[in-house]
Structure 1
Amino acid sequence: MANEPQSPVKDPHDDLISVLEASLQAVWKMETYASDAEAAGDTELAEWFRKIQENNRTAGEQGKRMLAQRLQNQGG
């Protein structure tokens, strides 16, 4: 993050891990939001939340593959 102090030890995967975490958290949140919308009878909104959820799920899967490959390449 821009306002956080520089760490003396910067992990080269910090940004990838942060975005991966955010994507996977969004998948969980969108499930809650979609359920709330369905309970309120708003199928249009529920479908929109589910589309966002699927986009985040895809991004999360891509991020997991990228992180695994990068860790494997560096031997860690």
Structure 2
Amino acid sequence: MATGETGFKDVAYDLVSVQYHSLKAGHDYGQYVRDAKNAGETEIADFFQDVMREDSERAARCHDFLTELAEKGDIGPAAS
């Protein structure tokens, strides 16, 4: 999406996108953990929990970056 289409700079849009997808995936991984546990696959369940934690950390990092951009007034509207 080109700068200006959303009213926000591309980097802000990109961070929001990564944050959204990380949070959405984290929600889905909860089911994967349950499936693995129900199948008696503890190691796989642990793997999915690690992936879920990594996505949670990624979403939090995006939030931090977005906060920094907002505090600098560098989040939007996009420059012409």
Same fold (TM over 0.5): yes
Point out which structure has higher relative CO (alpha carbons under 8 A, 6+ apart).
2
Amino acid in structure 1 at the alignment position of 2:45 = A
Gaps of 5+ in 2: 76-80
Q: Normalising to structure 1: TM-score of the pair?
A: 0.81
For residues 1-76 of structure 1, the aligned pairs below 5 Å read 6=2, 8-10=4-6, 11-12=8-9, 13-74=12-73
| Moved >3 Å (runs of 4+) | none
Q: Normalising to structure 2: TM-score of the pair?
A: 0.77
Amino acid in structure 2 at the alignment position of 1:9 = E
Number of residue pairs matched by the alignment: 72
Gaps of 5+ in 1: none
What RMSD, in angstroms, separates the aligned Cα atoms of the two structures?
A: 2.0
How many Å separate the matches in 2 of 1:8 and 1:27?
A: 30
User: Shift of residue 9 of structure 1?
Assistant: 2.4
User: Shift of residue 7 of structure 1?
Assistant: 7.0
The percentage of aligned residue pairs carrying the same residue is: 25
Amino acid in structure 2 at the alignment position of 1:27 = G
Residue by residue over 1:32-76, the C-alpha shift from the partner in whole angstroms, topping out at 9 and shown as x without a partner, is 110111011111110110010111111111111111111121177
Amino acid in structure 1 at the alignment position of 2:27 = W
